[in-house]
Structure 1
Amino acid sequence: MAKKIVILGAGVIGLTTALQLKKSNSEYDITVIGQHIPGDIDIEYTSPFAGANWHSFATLEDKTLQEFDKPGYFEFIRLAKFEPRSGVWLQPNVEYNNEDAAKNQDKFKYRTSPWFKDFTNFRFIEKKDLPEGMVSGSVFDGVVISTQIYLQYLVQRLLEMGVGIKRVAKLQSIQEALNHHSSGEKADLVINSSGLLSKNLSGFKDDKLVYPVRGQVLHVRNNAKTELHVGDFPGFPNESLYIMPRKEGGSIVGGCFERDLNNLQEDKELTKRIIERAKKYAPDMVNPNYKNNPTEIDIIRVNVGLRPFRESGARVEIDPDHSEWLIHNYGAGGGGYQGSYGYANKVVQLANQLFAKKSKL
């Protein structure tokens, strides 16, 4: 009999987990459930607000996060080359470092000698090509992901494979998910990919804090030449400039990293700073000679989102108290897209392990 699986959470983590599970075993009967699904815009639904790209946050020492992030790089490169409907785009990933960034030795080491340099064509930018005030720069072969297109792409892939997508009311306990399989029957397995909402779910324990990190980005009509990151800015330790051109035109420009703030409104002063930084470090964005850009930053929407962080990193494991039916996959923070395939592959291993164990009982 086919194993019935419910995945709680229809963000990029939940959808990718469903995809990899179904690809691993076509007999798995999977339903993805969520209070919000692709197409929705809500502050509690993180995935549509992301940049999104592949630029691993793993340090040289963090082998666990490296292993989670690495599969995503190659999959997104593949999608960019062979799946135009996915909304994934090959783009040079450029990074500039000023003197303030260079003073932080650990951060500077990560930026100038990242763990992924050997497989991403990482190279340094010559000093003569650096903007004024920058002490170093680098570039590697990267990708940018148009979130609204990509999430719908995942949905279509899942529907083609027979995976159910179901909108539900906000759950109060993880046990409720067992009763939401599209068959109407009780699920054999629940995958908890509920992101920030996991901190409000009862029925399981987590001794690590799940907390929001606020981000604010501008969705603009201006076109950027490359993906770009610049840091740090004196007096604004939680801010940096990142620009991600979209395949369909326009760009995402950010941003900030503010822990535990639940302010959902636009910070208008931050918006001004983002605009000035974009004009300074990416002047082509306001140059009409480049893709007919407007002469000022033309904002479509200011997006404020909450990244789902967890102390000590993502939780991807079989629940110790409910080892017969519950696997966790949440807490990816700002690395949900880039780590999505690595996290999903780990869940596949755990699900196969769990079902193999149950079959022997």
Structure 2
Amino acid sequence: MNDIAVIGAGVSGLTTALVLLEKFPKIQNITILAREIINDTAATDLQHEFTSWAAGANHMSFASKEDIRQQQFDLITYKRFMRLGREVKQSGIRIMKNKLFFLKTSPTPWYLETKACEEVSEISDSELEYRGLDPLLYKGFEYLTCTITPYIYLSYLRTELEKTGKVKIIKSFKSFESFKEIETFLGSKPDLIINCTGLGARKILSTYACEDEEVANKILPYKGQICVINKDLPYQVTVENLPSEKHVANYVKTIKGAYQFSHIFPRSDGYCIVGGVSLPNVYDNFKSEEVSKSIISNIKQFVPELEEDGVPIQVTFDYVALRPGRKGGVRLEYKQYGDCDVVHNYGIGGAGFQASLGLADEVARIIKTDFLQKTSKL
């Protein structure tokens, strides 16, 4: 296994490439192919599909108490992010506490209940009241986590990959329509293809009849919208369950399965990300002014200290992007398409950063147990 092609240069593609070089030092060449590449000034009409650059992003696991597999992916990544945040300044990872608030009727997140994360403590009733939340209905916890500044972290990953001398990152101006087309594009057949295309998996898989169900019914976007404000905080604040319908934008209410929440992530560039919404199966790049106003109105209530200096909150800019979702969760699987060997790693939704290293470890395990042993390419 000397030559590998990775399709997709978001956090999943770059992280997978880096982990494979660590796990398989005999790899001679990795070529990363993508329509969107960090630090590439050429914008396209698919920019809102390149979700990694537009993510929040913090580490807060969404895994249910029953989903032990996803918990492990998230925990592996959490531990490595915390180490990077402490040891590698240029990673763009900022360690800080998250103040998390949710209804008492909701289950306590697994990582708080098991204290899988660092420095877990309960938040007082007086702070709940300060944030306009009823202590009879809400509870809050504080724990140590991190905020990732995506464009800095992705640039860090790209630099680490290019330093190895084994990685080429090549822009493709069109989406690939088959895995065989990658061989034509490169001029040689890679030993293995890693599919980290996110929502782009629809395009490349639509060629194959065996993937009709996957393309038609499983791959779907979760549209998000966030604001960037020129403020800073020494901690994150997250309100999972909004107190009333008045906190939800009318636009969100019109979309089946959509929901709105409130969070603020101070990043290492001095700005704060404020969000957000999740709109299933909405593929457009329409930016709702009403949603942005609702997001800011909510954060003013839940984080009143933002205006205690007398300077009102000003939105620097706001934008939308599509989380690469999949019914049934992320797809991690080895599969053959004719003479093309492929390992899939797509469909993680909004957990792309917080699960990235755990998912890449799983890709390496699949290669070892499924691809290398079955094909005897040792």
TM-score, with structure 1 as normaliser: 0.90
After superposition, residues 1-361 of structure 1 pair within 5 angstroms as 3-28=2-27, 29-40=29-40, 42-97=47-102, 101-102=103-104, 105=105, 108-111=106-109, 114=112, 117-130=115-128, 131-134=131-134, 135-162=138-165, 163-169=167-173, 170-181=175-186, 184-201=187-204, 202-204=206-208, 205-206=210-211, 207-208=213-214, 209-233=218-242, 234-235=244-245, 236=248, 238-288=259-309, 295-319=311-335, 325-353=341-369, 354-359=371-376
SS of residue matched to 1:232: coil
The CA RMSD over aligned residues, in Å, is 2.1
Q: Give the number of equivalent residue pairs.
A: 346
Q: Distance in 1 between matches of 2:276 and 2:158?
A: 28
Residue identity opposite 1:168 in structure 2: S
Cα distance in 1 for partners of 2:228, 2:328 equals 31
- 1:282 CA drift (Å): 1.4
Is the 2:180–2:340 Cα contact (8 Å) retained in structure 1?
no
CA distance in 2, matches of 1:213, 1:306: 6
State the shift of 1:351 in Å: 1.8
Gap change, CA 1:322 and 1:119, over 3 Å in 2:
farther
Contact 1:56 1:69 in 2 (8 A): yes
Contact 2:51/2:321, CA 8 A, preserved across alignment: yes
Q: Contact 1:8–1:177 at 8 Å: present in 2 too?
A: no
Tell me the distance in 2 between the aligned counterparts of 1:16 and 1:313.
Answer: 19
Q: Deviations over 1:245-277 (max 9, x none)?
A: 011201000010111112312111111111111
Q: What residue identity is the alignment partner of 1:128?
A: S
Q: Give 1:355 deviation, angstroms.
A: 2.5
CA deviation map 1:154-204 (0-9, x unaligned): 0000000121111012212232223444xx421110000000010122344
> What is the CA deviation profile of residues 8-66 of structure 1, one whole-angstrom value per residue up to 9, with x for unaligned ones?
00000000000000111222111111011013561121101100111111111111211
Give secondary structure in 2 for the equivalent of 1:43: helix
Greater Cα offset, 142-151 or 343-352: 343-352
In structure 1, runs of 5+ residues without a counterpart are 289-293
Q: Distance in 2 between matches of 1:91 and 1:187?
A: 42
The answer to whether the 8 Å contact 1:178/1:188 transfers is no
- Is the 1:52–1:147 contact (alpha carbons within 8 Å) kept by the matching residues of 2? yes
**CA shift at 1:76, angstroms?**
0.3
Q: Is the 8 A contact 1:243 1:252 kept in 2?
A: yes
**Deviations 1:211-250, CA, capped at 9 Å, x for gaps:** 0111000111111231111132322361011100011201
What is the alpha-carbon distance in structure 2 between the residues aligned to residue 95 and residue 119 of structure 1?
13
In the superposition, the TM-score normalised over structure 2's length comes to 0.86
Residue type of the alignment partner of 2:241: D
Whole-angstrom CA distance in 2 between matches of 1:256 and 1:119: 25
DSSP-derived class of the 1:280 partner: helix
Distance 1:72 1:322, change over 3 A: farther
Comparing 77-86 and 235-244, the one that deviates more = 235-244
User: Matched residue of 1:350: which SS?
Assistant: helix
Q: C-alpha separation between the residues in 2 aligned to 1:67 and 1:313?
A: 14
